[in-house]
Amino acid sequence: MQKDPYEITVDTIKEPPIRFFDKLKFLGPGFILSASIVGSGELIATTILGAKAGFAAFWIIILSCLIKVAVQLQFGKHAIQSGETTMRAFDKIPGPRFKKSSWAVWTVLGLTFLKIIQLGGMVGSTALVLRMLFSGGSTFMWAVIVALMAAILIYKDYYPLVEKGSLVMIACFTVLTLGSLYLLSKTPYAFTVSDVWNGMKFKLPPDLILVAIGAFGITGVAADETIAYNYWCLEKGYAAYTGPKTPGVDDPQRNARAQGWIKVMTLDAIFAMIIYTLVTAAFYLLGAAILFKRGEIPEGNFLIEKLALIYTESLGPGVKTAYLIGAFFVLFSSVFATCAAMTRLYSDGTGVLGWYDFKDVVKRKKVVAFLAFLFPALWVLMYKTINLPVLMILSGGVVGSVLLLLVGYAAIHFKYQRKLDQAESKIYDLFFWLSILSIVFVAIYGLYSLF
């Protein structure tokens, strides 16, 4: 029988690996994170930003991917030190309570539910790619197929499947995306190392400032992924391996184990950061090299069709097919990982609200299975009924901006109020506050620009 990944006892204790290659065997949460991060935002929005700015804002993309990881690490550290799920941890954030649950829990559940509109657009984008690949069927038909694929893969509530599925999709979209970028060297749109270097000089023309801020906001780890990372760290076993924490007792052996597993988690986060930075940079360069030179800025899903057409013109239909397959894995990996995260978040959240006993594994699996079909069905419904792409984008932007502020506040609370962590380096503190400031800046700007 599958063990409950959220149960932490003395029997689950495992000493952390010391050697680098031994640590690699325990990576995994970052694979799911990368699968979730690299989605429609990177495939469409980042490419369009490259089309608008050329190579000039490339450094913004890189900086954005690198600087936000500190808040993600803080959530991972808290999960390992406390063994708490995200909603259990949020339920301890100070402030008003409604029906015995924290305002933070209600806020997260309410805002993330609104993202069904944005996810409807993501399912639609994935369906469009499949329709282009197979040259047949309605986009709605393919949207239903995409939703069913995600639901069937997730409903068993089996972490290894989520991890391995994410790893396979990451491998596919990384190879195909970098391959598409390499093949540009065979076309009139080839770019040079000098072009890339010019984009790394930390200079920005005044007319590109707003574009750069937008780029900073849509790339790297978002609020959703940060919230979900806690569950993946717990289900991988980092907290269970650390062992139970006795309140008020300083246990040097447990502290040492916690630090060891935090080092593994940090390595996991760094690997994830490298993956999504590489792929995000590749999409930006595709936009800068092809669309900026052509003076074209396609809107939304038309971008995928336009780039596919350009590849066909330059290198033939075979390369177009490779690009579309890569686009499918990028988009579907995000649908897949988001579906997995939503089932965890809402099974946890409804447990905190007292709707059922989260610790009852049988009941929890039934809730996860139900949610695994409910959310994809709602996404397809949104795609079918709301034919307003701008509204869908705005809804996601508002939700993301508010959630970013809450995530930043929660990270500060975990670090300074809960005080579960041991002493941290000044370098980590510096990156933590840079990450917090960047999150607050992007969130406020995002809300200001929308209204």
User: What are 260-306's pLDDT values in tens digits?
Assistant: 999 999 999 999 999 999 988 988 898 888 888 888 777 666 777 77
* Average pLDDT over every residue of 62-69: 86
pLDDT (0 to 100) of residue 420: 65
The C-alpha atoms of residue 188 and residue 55 are separated, in whole angstroms, by 17
Q: Residue 281 contacts by C-beta under 8 Å, 6 or more apart in sequence?
A: 58, 61, 62, 65
Name the amino acid, one letter, at 274. I
The C-alpha atoms of residue 330 and residue 378 are separated, in whole angstroms, by 21
Name the amino acid, one letter, at 86. T
Tokens of 130: 């499949």
pLDDT (0 to 100) of residue 390: 47
Name the amino acid, one letter, at 51. A
Pairwise pLDDT comparison (352 vs 302), residue with the higher score: 352
In a domain, 270, yes or no: yes
What's the alpha-carbon Rg for the chain, to the nearest Å? 22
Q: Residue 172 contacts by C-beta under 8 Å, 6 or more apart in sequence?
A: 325, 326, 329
Pairwise pLDDT comparison (295 vs 101), residue with the higher score: 101
Q: What percent of the chain has pLDDT over 70?
A: 92
In a domain, 293, yes or no: yes
In a domain, 4, yes or no: no
pLDDT (0 to 100) of residue 283: 86
Tokens of 393: 């984008």
The conformation of residue 413, written as its DSSP 8-state character, comes to I
Condensed to tens digits (0 to 9), the pLDDT of residues 129-166 reads 999 899 888 889 999 999 999 999 999 878 889 999 99
In a domain, 432, yes or no: yes
The conformation of residue 355, written as its DSSP 8-state character, comes to S
Quick one: how many helices (H) and strands (E) in the chain? 22, 2
Residue 70 belongs to a domain with what CATH number? Answer: 1.20.1740.10
- The answer to whether the beta carbons of residues 64 and 301 sit under 8 Å apart is no
pLDDT band at 362 (very low <50, low <70, confident <90, very high): very high
- Per the prediction, the chain carries an average pLDDT of 86
The C-alpha atoms of residue 51 and residue 295 are separated, in whole angstroms, by 8
351 has a pLDDT exceeding 90 = yes
Condensed to tens digits (0 to 9), the pLDDT of residues 107-134 reads 999 999 888 888 888 898 899 899 989 9
Contacts 24+ apart (CB under 8 A), 305-309: 305/132, 307/47, 308/132
The C-alpha atoms of residue 259 and residue 76 are separated, in whole angstroms, by 12
Range of the domain at 310: 10-450
pTM of the predicted model, to two decimals? Answer: 0.90
- The answer to whether the beta carbons of residues 54 and 290 sit under 8 Å apart is no
Q: Tell which residue, 164, 121, 130, has the closest CA to residue 32.
A: 164
In a domain, 2, yes or no: no
Instruction: Report the domain count for the chain.
Output: 1
- The answer to whether the beta carbons of residues 244 and 56 sit under 8 Å apart is no
pLDDT (0 to 100) of residue 1: 44
* Average pLDDT over every residue of 234-238: 95
In a domain, 341, yes or no: yes
